[in-house]
Amino acid sequence: MNNRPDYRDICEAAMRLKDKSIYTAVLSSPKINEQVGSEVFFKCENQQHIGAFKFRGAYNAIIQLSDLQKKNGVIAFSSGNHAQAVARVCQMLDIKATIIMPNNAPDIKRRGTEILGANIIEYDPLTENRETIAQQVNADNRLSLIPPFNHPHIIAGQGTAAYELASDVKNLDQLLAPCGGGGLLSGTALAVKGLQENCAVIGVEPEMADDATQSFQQGKIITIDYPDTIADGTQTLSLGEITFGLIQSHVDDMVTVSEAMIKEAVRLLFYNLKQVVEPSGALGLAALLERKTPPANRVGVIISGGNIDGKMMQKILAEPSIT
């Protein structure tokens, strides 16, 4: 495979993931449909292993390492769902996982990674450099780095969620996916354009973390300062070279949503769809509620994950509805 994956790579990833990942449900809510004026099909990756789609990319990347690489082990940097995904895949395949994590990582995500048997190395993001830590930990370079988004095998794996959705639900007019580093969105676009050429693919970001939207509009990778958004899965500072290229050529548009509407979407998904969804996973519905996308009859939405602290959920549910 060259650096830039294509539709065939998504199909191959789907075959590798068969019976390994959970074939997640597609759910609808008549109330939400009425409120947004479209028929909406939610692909529930909050029900995936480790509670997010990232299992897919991690599995597709790690299973393709050589026997020697598997024997030596893998390393990843992440405070979030990518850490848990790498840890879970390594647990399944009996591979040693080392995760480098900032000491301010959400508790639920840190504990989730620990329980899966990964070796966690903490650092202070304010005073310590992540790369220096990694060099110390991996001085002999034997551990294989599993990047969170900018890698063809990761992108192809992430695309399999939309591959399942667009295989099961025909005649979609539009498909919405959240965007952080762009692994999910670029894989989604490859899958959807391969299966339903006429379906528009739209990426959604928090207003406060709009680097990909800026990059899409300006035709070059834009980097932002650390964004203070509730959607911690999309706090990435910039797209990668590969994800940016794919988004430029296969994604139809990028839109942004407010923090208030992200929280409203979390509430509606809880009360109407009966799903526990983390803020990043609610971006697609937030875009529909804010009328940020063109009107469409049949809309697919990727609910990307459900790893939200109980306290945070409580706080969001306690706030009044704004729609």
Ligand X SMILES: *Cc1c(COP(=O)(O)O)cnc(C)c1O
Is 70 or 157 the residue whose CB approaches ligand X more closely? 157
Interface residue list for ligand X (CB under 6 A): 52, 54, 80-81, 149, 158, 178-185, 233-234, 236, 278, 280-281, 304-305
Q: How far is the CB of 127 from ligand X (least distance, A)?
A: 26
Is 254 or 268 the residue whose CB approaches ligand X more closely? 254
Edge-first strand order for the sheet with 39-44 is 26-27, 39-44, 298-303, 174-178, 200-206, 253-257
Q: How far is the CB of 297 from ligand X (least distance, A)?
A: 26
Give the residue closest to ligand X by C-beta. Answer: 305
Q: How far is the CB of 232 from ligand X (least distance, A)?
A: 8
Which tokens hold the place of 268?
Answer: 């509606």
Is 70 or 153 the residue whose CB approaches ligand X more closely? 153
Burial annotation 129-164 (CB, 10 A radius, 16+ → b, else e): eeeebbeeebeeeebbebbbbbbbbbbbbbbbbbbb
Q: How far is CA 206 from CA 19, 82, 161, 209, in A?
A: 34, 20, 21, 5
Is 34 or 225 the residue whose CB approaches ligand X more closely? 225
Q: How far is the CB of 142 from ligand X (least distance, A)?
A: 27
Q: How far is the CB of 239 from ligand X (least distance, A)?
A: 8
Is 160 or 236 the residue whose CB approaches ligand X more closely? 236
Is 72 or 243 the residue whose CB approaches ligand X more closely? 243
93 C-beta neighbours (distance < 10 Å), count: 15
Q: Are 126 and 92 in contact (CB under 8 A)?
A: no
Q: Is 305 helix (H, G, I), strand (E, B) or coil?
A: strand
Q: Look-up: residue for tokens 């990843």?
A: 76
Q: How far is the CB of 77 from ligand X (least distance, A)?
A: 13
